Amino acid sequence: MSKQNTENKVYTPNANSLLSANNLTCIREERVLFEALNISVCAGDILQIEGPNGAGKTSLLRILAGLSQPYDGCVYFQDRNIAQYREVFHQDLLYLGHLPGVKDEMTAQENLEFNLALHGLASNTAETTLAEVNLLGFEDALASHLSAGQHRRIALARLWQSNAKIWILDEPFTAIDKLGVKKLEQLFLQHADNGGCVILTTHQDLSLPAERVNKVTLAYRFY
């Protein structure tokens, strides 16, 4: 499998893919963000989507997660079109968008319990999970009193309890310190080694072994 790819030739389709995309084209406000894009992500893969602002990275993640529709092309979960198997697909998907989605009127622990329950995950271990993201001592603090980095860590805490094989993460390192980034990277490796896959965008360089990270590079288009 190629480590770095152009936007029009990504991976050779693989029958063992967890998630794949065929001939994806995305158009926003009459501008083509990407076209004829093919992706195949297998168990054990860590895939970084890179490119300048406006190139379509978030749009691509949302299409792969089934939250947006492409202008053309299809996304498949284990060779099944996600449009036809949405419920089954979402049971094996954890998507974290660029915004943390934290409710200011709730405490850190209440936010995590709410998100875990919403996704069918055990909410009774929220306090223990908050320790993984260094939020012990803040579990009873209202989110409105917490920093942007602490908001992000509330959202990321779900990763430590997720049973989903496919993680799609938009800028997971935003407002996270170096120690937190290192801990997340080790979690990504552990998840991949356990048969999952990680698809992410980030504006910073990953310190993971180069052979563990595949890349798709999107170019900014002016038309």
List the chain pLDDT tens, one digit each, 223 residues.
Answer: 333 343 433 334 456 899 999 999 999 999 999 999 999 999 999 999 999 999 999 999 999 999 999 999 999 999 899 999 999 999 999 999 988 888 999 999 999 888 888 877 777 888 888 988 999 899 999 999 999 889 999 999 989 989 999 999 999 999 898 999 999 999 999 999 999 999 999 988 899 999 999 999 999 988 8
Domain that holds residue 218: 1-92+200-223
Q: Which residues are CB-contacts of 87 (< 8 A; sequence separation ≥ 6)? A: none
Do the domain assignments include residue 216? yes
Do the domain assignments include residue 109? no
Do the domain assignments include residue 170? no
Do the domain assignments include residue 118? no
> Which CATH number is 74's domain given?
3.40.50.300
Do the domain assignments include residue 117? no
Do the domain assignments include residue 47? yes
Domain count, the chain: 1
Do the domain assignments include residue 38? yes
Do the domain assignments include residue 80? yes
The pTM assigned to this predicted structure is: 0.90
Secondary structure (DSSP) of 56-78: SHHHHHHHHTTSS--SEEEEEET
